[in-house]
Structure 1
Amino acid sequence: MKRIISLILVLVLALSLGVGCSQGGNEGEEKAFPYEKTVEIIAPASPGGGWDSTARALQKVIVDNKLAGDVNVVVSNLPGGNGSIAWNGLIDEKNPHKIAMDSSYIYLNSMLGIEGAPSIDDVTPIATLTNEWIGVFVSIDSPYNSINDLFDAVKADVNSVQFVVAPGKGNDDHLATLTTAKAYGIDVTEFDKTIVATDTSEILTGIMGGFYDACFTGALEGLEFVEAGNLKCLGITSNERYEGKFDYIPTIQEQGVDVVFPHWRGLLGAPGMTEEEIAWWNELIEAAIATDDWKEILDNNEWVSYYRNSADTKAMWEEEIVNYESLVEAAGLMVK
């Protein structure tokens, strides 16, 4: 009897030790990312703008198609500093469950002297999502009918054509203007002295009213006035023409000026993200942009798909930043 009781005690002890070891093993195992039940996409601007609308469109596609499984995907807004406030928040928190929308401001801000602006070395590139091409617009009764007409006039007399940008110098519209002038063989430093800045709401009305002669601005913003018969579009910064009703508008490149200039929107994350964490986000985004819902969003907003994964986005940053530094320096906007 004692032997039976002893055997039972041994078995009970062995089972309890086994369960304990098993539980301890589970606790010691590394959990796959995401480690939390909620991930966040931050729009570094107020609701309604390009960053916000892109972030919310991406979130909607992910949620509607159940691409993140049981992980919640939320969007928040944190405006300020051309994105720098949100990006610095990611840097300080170092939370791989949070990513933020970005654009070329990730390198422009520090060049332009935005206080506390991070550099590309301070963050992790996640992806590039969309692009909006830039158009060159003049009034409907302008004597200029091509990029060559326009920049021939500038080359002959740098003060003869009044260019305007909005809302200020240093953004993509301004740098696309300088890039085209540079490619045309014009002294960018002297040319930039003639460019004026105005409020965004006044740039196209100013062209139509005869206050300015030409501007580079978001193509889709200007094309509605082209369709209404108020403006002419002399070219777009794309490498190929639009399809459909605006297919008659040439690219700048096909007019003999070697310029392709995107205005992209993408996503970045905290510094030090692991390959697993980056891969999870890339796989989620790739699944989202492959859906019919995402393609419909692109069509409805007339956005251009410009997807690049983390590695390709990093390569794009490193290539673009060299050109941007040269242009900002030539325009006298570089803050040392």
Structure 2
Amino acid sequence: MTSGIAQAGPLDKTECIAPAKPGGGFDLTCKLAQTGLLNGKFISDPMRVTYMPGGIGAVAYNTVVAQRPAENNTIVAFSGGSLLNLAQGKFGRYKETDVRWVAGVGTDYGAVIVAEKSPIKSLQDLVAAIKADPTKVVFGAGGTVGSQDWMKAALTAKAAGLDPRKMRFVAFEGGGEASTALQGGHVQVYSGDASEAEEQIKAGAKIRVIAVLADKRLKGKMADVPTAKEQGMDVEWPIIRGFYVGPKVSDADYKVWVDTFNKMMATPEFAKLRAERGLFPFSMTGAELDAYIKQRVGVYRKVAGDLGLNVTK
């Protein structure tokens, strides 16, 4: 009798590893694939989501590369934060070349946020306030020095002509805490995410987005918010979400995943699912995504180095 396991294809008994506890962005990314693949009948059984927290993706990355490199039915969620950590060497000895990048399925963008009653109405106002008295403009963000939110604050400060190492910065556990501090007047600016801000405003938060860190204006409720570039600051911060597989997955099985994601992302049903989860359109797979990832990690490496952080060679 032929072993069923040897014959199993990449879309049989699928698993998505979310490199964090349930409820966060990685979980959202896995659930997006789980729902999209099942509803589109690309898989016959529901995809299993397993949680592997640690180091914003570091534990999962190391596990897949070192212990599970050839599992053809396992995909792992990643985010722009994962790429930033790779650039800073926070994934240990492994680099962006050590896995096979399958698909980018959606994106969010950085946003510069103030309290609704703040006198700061634009990035020009922010620059003026910083120049008038840097001690009175406190940046808040989810995460410590070197995190995505810190980087967004540092790049905004740098573009405003302020030494990022001299900016007043308060680290919070997450976006909810930072938003509360902003509304309470404990910080004046919060460098968060556009979709997160949209959800918070919907829930009644008294905050206002003064800039999105995208290459062009976003659609929907953020359509009236100008980009940083429109306001004279060359700062972009896309936060893509997607999946990779282990380095020893065969070319044939890798191609099955790439082709399946291409078909799924081309459907209007998937576009609706993505929008429901607060993500903006971004669809990229295979070799094109691999080149994009390497380019982004290179950008993060340079930015982190310029800001005095450790980076990988």
Q: TM-score range by the shorter chain?
A: 0.7 to 0.9
Report the AA paired with residue 148 of structure 1: Q
In structure 2, do the counterparts of structure 1 residues 154 and 43 end up closer, same or farther at CA, with 3 Å as the change threshold?
Answer: same
Q: CA RMSD in A?
A: 2.8
In structure 2, do the counterparts of structure 1 residues 244 and 108 end up closer, same or farther at CA, with 3 Å as the change threshold?
Answer: closer
Alignment of 1:101-250 (within 5 A): 101-110=77-86, 112=88, 114=90, 116=92, 118-155=94-131, 157-191=133-167, 194-200=168-174, 201-226=176-201, 228=204, 230-250=206-226
User: Does the CA contact (< 8 Å) of 1:127 and 1:308 recur in 2?
Assistant: yes
* Residue correspondences, number: 305
**2:17 match: secondary structure:** strand
Unaligned residue ranges in structure 1 (runs of 5+): 1-26
Counterpart CA distance in 1 for 2:283 and 2:115 is 34
Report the AA paired with residue 86 of structure 1: A
Alignment of 1:47-58 (within 5 A): 47-58=22-33
User: Does the CA contact (< 8 Å) of 1:189 and 1:330 recur in 2?
Assistant: no
**1:129 match: secondary structure:** strand
* Matching residue of 2:56: 82
* Matching residue of 2:36: 61
Counterpart CA distance in 1 for 2:278 and 2:83 is 26
Counterpart CA distance in 1 for 2:119 and 2:286 is 45
Q: Does 1:273 align with 2:232?
A: no
Counterpart CA distance in 1 for 2:46 and 2:297 is 35
User: Does the CA contact (< 8 Å) of 2:86 and 2:297 recur in 1?
Assistant: no
In structure 2, do the counterparts of structure 1 residues 302 and 271 end up closer, same or farther at CA, with 3 Å as the change threshold?
Answer: same
Counterpart CA distance in 2 for 1:208 and 1:142 is 9
Question: Which string of whole-angstrom CA distances, capped at 9 and with x for unpartnered residues, describes residues 205-240 of structure 1?
Answer: 111111111011012222355564722211111223
Counterpart CA distance in 2 for 1:168 and 1:89 is 25
**TM-score with structure 2 setting the length:** 0.86
In structure 2, do the counterparts of structure 1 residues 297 and 112 end up closer, same or farther at CA, with 3 Å as the change threshold?
Answer: same
User: Does the CA contact (< 8 Å) of 2:77 and 2:244 recur in 1?
Assistant: yes
Following TM superposition, by how much is the alpha carbon of 1:272 offset from its aligned partner in structure 2, in angstroms? 3.6
User: Does the CA contact (< 8 Å) of 1:235 and 1:252 recur in 2?
Assistant: yes
Question: Larger % of helix: which?
Answer: 1
User: Does the CA contact (< 8 Å) of 2:301 and 2:311 recur in 1?
Assistant: no
**2:283 match: secondary structure:** strand
Counterpart CA distance in 1 for 2:294 and 2:223 is 32
Alignment of 1:87-98 (within 5 A): 87-91=61-65, 92-94=67-69, 95-98=71-74
In structure 2, do the counterparts of structure 1 residues 203 and 32 end up closer, same or farther at CA, with 3 Å as the change threshold?
Answer: same
Report the AA paired with residue 197 of structure 1: A
* Matching residue of 1:6: none
Q: Kindly, what percent of the aligned residue pairs are identical? A: 27
User: Does the CA contact (< 8 Å) of 2:87 and 2:297 recur in 1?
Assistant: no
User: Does the CA contact (< 8 Å) of 1:84 and 1:117 recur in 2?
Assistant: no
In structure 2, do the counterparts of structure 1 residues 117 and 293 end up closer, same or farther at CA, with 3 Å as the change threshold?
Answer: farther
Q: Does 1:253 align with 2:229?
A: yes
In structure 2, do the counterparts of structure 1 residues 233 and 112 end up closer, same or farther at CA, with 3 Å as the change threshold?
Answer: same
Unaligned residue ranges in structure 2 (runs of 5+): none
